[in-house]
Structures are given as C-alpha cells and as structure tokens.
Structure 1
Amino acid sequence: TNPCTLPDIDKKFFKYGNLYLGGNAAFAGLISNSLYRRTLNISKGFIASSLPTAALPFLVTAGLYNVLVSDSLVSSGLNCPTCAMTRGALVGVVGGGGYPILLALAVNIFLAARLNTAPMPERGNVLRHWVDVSRPILRQMRPVLLLQAIFGTYLGSRDFETYTKLARVTFSSGGEELETKD
C-alpha cells in the first residue's frame, strides 16, 4: 500500500460523518413528532408532520456539522481536538436534538389548532401551557439528547484525528497529490 493514503474507514467517516449525525437528527425528529402527536391527540396528517420533522433536522444538522467542524478543520480554522469535540457535541445536542424537538412542537401545535384535537391555551398562558405540555416529552427525549452529544463528540474527535493524519501525510510527502481510493 502507498504510505501517502488514508485508510478507507477514515475517509468515509470524514466524508460522511455529518450525514450519520444528520440521520440521527431525523430519527430524533420522528420520535419527538410521535410523542407530541400522542400528547396532543393528533391522528390525522401523519405525513404532513413527519416529513418536515425528519427532513429539516437532517439537513440542518448535516450542514451545521459540515460548516462548524469539517470545513473548519480543512480550512485550518479549528486546531485543537477539544474544540472539535465540543463543536461536534454542540451540533449533536442543538442541531440533532433540540431543533427536532422544537420543530416537532411547532408543527404539532399547528396541527392541533387546525384539527381541534387538544385544548388551546388562554391568551396570557401560552408559553406556560406549551412548556407544561413539553416537559414530559423532554424528559423522554433525554437519552436521545445524550446519544446525540456522545455521537457528535465522537465524530468531532474522529474527524480531528483524520485531519491530523491527512496533514502528516500531506506534509511528509513533500506536498505530493494524495491518492484516494473510494
């Protein structure tokens, strides 16, 4: 084997890691959507609520991870492993956990109001009402948030290691073009 190449597994994690994290965010969106649908007694509009709560978290999380971790490593804007792991964890929790939950809440509030399946709050208690409705769902979603944080941390660490290997290979080979095997 050529010493100027990275192992295939490192290339795949670096190239597709953001999609894995985005896929987990899509599952988090579907889970939180299901929990809100049950809580608000919504039986209609399954696809109308599932599609955005899966697709948008996938796209947002994959994009956030790509910009904040992967692209920052390649452009040399991110030079410490702790920073890469922290950014990965934050993208996992915020983009892959918090955003899908809030999106599912918004979509299902709209559906519940439109279909009259749950009592709507009075004018002065809107925020308190939705916080009270969300509290048990957030409790149930804690393991998902923890898994997203752990997975984001792992991906950030793994990407930093891959970037370090790539930099070593590039600079030790005198700047020769790297051979890639896909």
Structure 2
Amino acid sequence: MAVSQTQSGSPLRAASMVQMEDREAPQNIKMAIYTRGRLIPSLGDAKFRKPVITEIIEKKFEYYTKDILDKHGIFYGTTSAMSGVLANIIFRSSFKVQHEALKTFATLATLPFLSTVVTYKLFVTDALNSGNISRENCILRSILIGFICGVSYPSALAFSKNGQLAVKYHTVPLPPKGRVILHWLLLCQTGMKAMAAPLVFQALFGLLHSSHHYAVCERMRAKAGPEDEPKSQ
C-alpha cells in the first residue's frame, strides 16, 4: 500500500509542478515584456540624446566663435593695424630705411591688431556681457585701449624695429655711445609729431565705438529680460 501511495503521489507531484510552472510562465513572460519595455525607451532616449548633445555642442561652438570673433573688437583692432602701418611708414622715412619692408609692415600690422582685439575683449566686451560696467567706464576703457594698443605700442614698435635696421644697414650716422635713444629721438622729431593724428583719431573712434557697443548691449539685454521672466515664474 505504501508503494502504491508513493507511486500515485509522484504523478500528482509532477502534475502540480507542471501547473506551478504553467502559472509562473505568464509571470516570467510579463517580467520579460516589462524588462524589454523598459529597455526600449532607454534605447530611444539614447537615440534622442545624440541629436540634443550635438545641437548643444554646435550652439556652444557658435557662441564661443562669435565671442572670440567679436566685430567690435575687430573694428577697433583694424584701426590699430592702420595706425601701425602709418607709424612704420613715418619711422622708416625718419630713419631712411628701405630694407625688410615686408617683414616690418607685416609685424606692425599684425601685433597691434591682435593686442587690441584681445585687450578689448578682456576689458570691454566681457565686462559688457556681464553687465558690470557703466557707459562712462566703457568709454574710458576704450579710449585707453586706443591710446596704448593703437598708438603707443605701434609707435614704440616701429621706432625700435626701424632704429635697429638703421644701425644694421648704416642708413643714418651711428649715434655716440650712451646716447642711442636720444639720438634716435632727435632724428624722429617730425615723425613723432605726425603720430598726433592717429592719436586724435583713436580717441574719437574709441568714444563713438564704445558708445555704440554699450547701446547695442543694452538693447539686447532689454529684449532678453521679458523672455526670461516667464521662465523664472
């Protein structure tokens, strides 16, 4: 009897195990469907994230490109380059130098341009973008940049470059020992007086240019203000 009970019990256990597996099968299927359903949005998110990331990178690149290549700084740098070319012409005539013209003109046009663009961006453009500068301070900074980077630096650079060429090629009498600077200054008196013209021009251009730049930034800030208020609410 015991043997028959165990034999009869084993089919019952097998049947119950099959039923339990059948009952668990839909749950496993549901879990598989659930996990698959959860994976599909993640793949979709990954697909959607790539265009969003590339768009953000493109916007950042465009913003920084516009910030570096600021047209206001480029305009101001162009006037400094013109002042450098004029200073080179004046001091080459004063020192009677005719050698290495291309090299000196390239140097006198490039270095004042780059120095003015970088200085204007650091002290004027960045301050205007942050809003931590007044109109008077903006004008003052712009005029000082014009004096230093647009007139003083090109004049000193042209003076030293052409003075060295004058000594190298003996285009003017050699100065006495210990009086090199004084001798060169006496030779360039007329040229130094002629540099007063670009000095006045840089002052007027800096005044008008900085006023216009400040007004443009104020208009852009006024337009951006109402759009930002609903977002903050």
Give the alignment's TM-score, normalised by structure 1: 0.83
Query: How far is 1:76 from its partner?
Result: 2.8
Query: How far is 1:54 from its partner?
Result: 0.7
Question: Pairwise mapping of residues 42-81 of structure 1 onto structure 2 (< 5 A)?
Answer: 42-78=97-133, 80-81=134-135
Partners in 2 of 1:109 and 1:166 — Cα distance? 48
C-alpha RMSD of the superposition: 2.0
Partners in 1 of 2:128 and 2:92 — Cα distance? 40
Partners in 1 of 2:230 and 2:168 — Cα distance? 62
Match of 2:90 in 1: 35
Instruction: From the CA coordinates, give the structure whose radius of gyration is larger.
Output: 2
* % identity of equivalent residues: 26
Unaligned runs of 5+ in 2: 1-65
Letter in 2 for 1:47: L
Quick check: 1:93–1:148 contact (8 Å CA) kept in 2? Answer: yes
Q: Structure 1 or 2: larger helix share? A: 2
Quick check: 2:95–2:188 contact (8 Å CA) kept in 1? Answer: no
Match of 2:152 in 1: 98
Quick check: 1:61–1:96 contact (8 Å CA) kept in 2? Answer: yes
Aligned counterpart in structure 1 of residue 181 of structure 2, from 127, 139, 149: 127
Mean alpha-carbon deviation: is it higher for 145-154 or for 69-78?
69-78
Letter in 2 for 1:37: R
Unaligned runs of 5+ in 1: 1-10, 178-182
Quick check: 1:170–1:176 contact (8 Å CA) kept in 2? Answer: no
CA gap of 1:131–1:175, structure 2 versus 1, over 3 A, is: farther
Match of 2:200 in 1: 146
CA gap of 1:68–1:134, structure 2 versus 1, over 3 A, is: farther
Query: How far is 1:18 from its partner?
Result: 1.0
Partners in 2 of 1:33 and 1:175 — Cα distance? 53
Match of 1:116 in 2: 170
Letter in 2 for 1:97: V
Determine helix, strand or coil for the equivalent of 2:228: coil
Give the alignment's TM-score, normalised by structure 2: 0.66
Query: How far is 1:176 from its partner?
Result: 8.0
Partners in 1 of 2:132 and 2:197 — Cα distance? 32
Letter in 1 for 2:140: T
Query: How far is 1:134 from its partner?
Result: 3.1
Greater relative contact order (CA < 8 Å, ≥ 6 in sequence) = 1
How many residue pairs match? The answer is 164
CA gap of 1:116–1:94, structure 2 versus 1, over 3 A, is: same
Quick check: 1:89–1:148 contact (8 Å CA) kept in 2? Answer: yes
Partners in 2 of 1:152 and 1:176 — Cα distance? 38
